[in-house]
Amino acid sequence: MSRTLDLARRQAWARRAEYGRDTSPARDRWCVHRLLECGDLAPAQHSAAVRFARLTERGQGQTSGARSEAIDGGGCDPHARLWDAALCAREAECARMSVLTNLPDDDDRRTRVAVFEAALAFPHRSVRDAMADAGLAHGGRTRDVFIAHLVAVLELLVIYFDAVDAAAARDFARSA
């Protein structure tokens, strides 16, 4: 049993290292990492959340030495190519607006927006912290309701990135 738990712990830290995050045990894992491990999120939803977070982190105008027109990938993506800050900010805003405009028009819309912002916020949050932020914005919610809202939002984010990738592939095929 001890050996199995130790192996699971090592694999979890290895997965975290893949994302370029600080692998010290003292750091909380990000909300969506925990939810993926628990089986609450599908891998495509987790990937969409990470992709959105990378855009958001890159889009905050951190400059890279003499190359002030570009920013580095930050701790989230240390090996990424340099991106223009304006391009990142624009892409992140397009993704955000795509999600917000496609949310169902019901009483839970504001709550889903709060969950979206809290769960994908930097610095990375634990599930409890993200729930607390969303709860402060729009009343307390149980973990199950929080996850249901997050899943609905991330499904829209997956659809958005799939559409963006399909358009990019078409453009690439035309130019080749």
pTM: 0.68
User: What is the pLDDT, as a whole number, of residue 82?
Assistant: 54
pLDDT per residue as tens, the chain (176 positions): 677 777 777 776 666 555 445 455 544 568 888 888 888 899 999 999 988 988 877 554 444 444 444 444 444 544 445 556 778 888 889 999 999 889 887 667 888 888 888 888 766 677 888 888 777 766 566 888 888 888 989 999 999 999 999 988 888 888 87
State both tokens at 19.
């994302």
Q: C-alpha angle with apex 129: 16 to 134, nearest 5 degrees?
A: 120
Whether the CB-CB separation of 23 and 13 falls below 8 Å is answered with yes
User: What is the pLDDT, as a whole number, of residue 138?
Assistant: 64
Whether the CB-CB separation of 125 and 28 falls below 8 Å is answered with yes
User: What is the pLDDT, as a whole number, of residue 145?
Assistant: 84
Bridge partners, residue 64, by sequence: 67
Domain ranges of the chain: 31-175
User: What is the pLDDT, as a whole number, of residue 95?
Assistant: 92
CB neighbour list of residue 106: distance below 8 Å, 6 or more residues apart? none
User: What is the pLDDT, as a whole number, of residue 94?
Assistant: 93
